[in-house]
């Protein structure tokens, strides 16, 4: 599976930012930030990048990846 992430225009960021494709979801966990409820996060590997570039992203960060 591959997912393409796109930054919404409402972010007000420079439009030349690259798009990253999620190659694989390699982990999942629940985290709790101080004073907030637990959220599910996914460890993702981006296409063309190695394990050192893996990131934990929540569902909000992956909202442009409809297959999630």
Domain boundaries, the chain: 30-67
The predicted-structure confidence for 4-61, as pLDDT tens digits, reads as follows: 666 666 666 555 556 788 888 999 999 887 888 899 999 999 989 999 999 999 888 8
* pLDDT at position 45: 92
Going by C-alpha positions, the residue among 45, 63, 41 that lies closest to residue 54 is 45
pTM for this prediction? 0.65
* Long-range contacts, 43-49 (Cβ 8 Å, 24+): 46/20, 46/21, 46/22, 47/2, 47/20, 47/21, 47/22, 47/23, 48/21, 48/23, 49/23
């Amino acid at each position: 599976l591959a997912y393409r992430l796109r930054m919404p225009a409402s972010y007000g960021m420079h439009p030349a930012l690259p798009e990253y494709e999620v190659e694989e979801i390699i982990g999942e966990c629940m985290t709790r930030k101080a004073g907030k409820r637990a959220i599910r996060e996914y460890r993702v590997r981006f296409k063309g990048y190695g394990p050192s570039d893996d990131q934990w992203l929540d569902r909000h960060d992956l909202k442009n990846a409809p297959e999630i």
